[in-house]
Amino acid sequence: MAIAMDIGTRYARIARIGHDGAPQLAALPGSVPGEGLPLQTGAGSHRSASLRTAYTAYCAHFGAPDRVVLVVPQEGRADYARRAVDTLTAAHDADRAPEIRALSTPHAVLALLRHTGTVTAGRYTVCDLGATAAEVSVCALTGASVAVVAGGRYAPTDGYGAGFDAALLAGAGLPDDEQAHRALAAVRAEDGAGLRLELAVGRAERDPERYDDPVHQVSGREITAGVVRRALGRLTAGADRALDDAVGGTSVPPVIAAGGMARLRPLERHLAARQGAVVALPTGTDPALAAVFGAALVAAGRIDPGDRYPHAVCVATHRTVGGEPHSEELVITPAGALEPGGPTVFAEHAGHRVRVRPGVGAPRPVRVRVRDTDGRATAPVSILTVPGGSPGDRFHVGVRIDADGTARLVLHPVGSGTPAEFPLGTLPTDLKGARS
């Protein structure tokens, strides 16, 4: 059994593949149809606690899964992934934990579209418009790899979508509390609510006399078109800011809108007016569920997320030929060979691991670089200090990317011995403009 989990501010969404082969939300006791399992007030700021609560509820109802794919934000991905993996592992105590994989939101959303075969461009701009932030990720598709090459984020202190909701409630004279937010969510879920909002805002844009037209009625109070229009200004300005941070003055690849705020047609219209037509999600897909549905397809093995490092990782070496030293570059891992949580990939030649002799005596600096598939663009990663060895020492050299997305250089002694690991951090993905 394989599941995907996306822990938001107000809901924990758990998805799996249904009998019809399509992803669907797991129906847990107390869950809200189309939304997921409600989280306690303020729990969204304690993601680990929310994750454990939702996971425990799932296991109690359906049993422990064999595989879990966790959706995590692109920014701060390493920290989110590390804490999430630790949380799920600890939830099993002495029992065997499931296979756990973290997948960033843009990779999850693109997995959903790639599964339908509708991805045709070489680059896409994934806009994750959620309660906490508007996060923009520019993704490059190269062969079997999907790499995030640029990003931007707008996260006001009162939240992105959460701030929008608070502004609506304030405009209606309602408190910014859990009860009011639940009531607002229930009204939004009514049939035709989205269309009413879109039409009312459109009329107010054309005619200020229509600002007082009611859009929603929440707890006996009216939310008017004028209140909605002013609050929408927060969302459009925030999305613009995140887009500007991600792409600057350059042309923007096709935009994919996901997240709860992408349900708002006026916001989608704004993105289309600025960037061109927004890429359509698969028919009937709720934008708020796009990431967890894509992750569910990955968890079930229906689609490869392409979450591999798209460039080759190289290390500077020296060889002695005819008594003369020669500088060379050893390709440790070819492009597309590394994936988060996967095995260490070692340098090979003709199907055999390359043997490397360390410098004898004092520690030596080792320069690690990455290079694109054409071999032209390159970028430095790190200069490591590797301990010296004895004349007879030989090592296999490899690289591994942990589940949190950070890389390590691995020196594995030939024969017996304990491997040594050296942290490399997060490997660079955007090499455009870089040259060796």
Structure-token pair, residue 219: 């707890």
Q: What is the model's pLDDT at position 388?
A: 77
pLDDT, position 320: 61
DSSP code for 252:
P
Distance between CA atoms of 79 and 402, rounded to whole angstroms?
12
Cα angle: 56, vertex 75, 189; to 5 degrees = 55
Rg (CA), the chain: 25
240, 232, 177, 152: which is closest to 200 by C-alpha?
232
H helix count then E strand count, the chain? 9, 22
Residue (of 381, 378, 410) closest to 396 by Cα position: 410
Neighbours of 63 (CB within 10 A): 9
3-state secondary structure of 208: helix
Low-confidence ranges of the chain (pLDDT < 70): 41-45, 94, 249, 319-325, 375, 432-436
pLDDT in the model for residue 109: 97
pLDDT at residue 106 in the model? 96
Over residues 244-299, the pLDDT tens digits come to: 999 876 778 999 999 999 999 999 999 998 888 899 999 989 999 999 999 999 99
**Residue 310, pLDDT score:** 84
DSSP string, 319-382: EEETTEEEEEEEEEE-TT---TT---EE-EETTEEPPBPPPBSS-EEEEEEEE-TTS--EEEEE
**pLDDT score, position 305:** 92
- Residue 44 has what pLDDT? 43
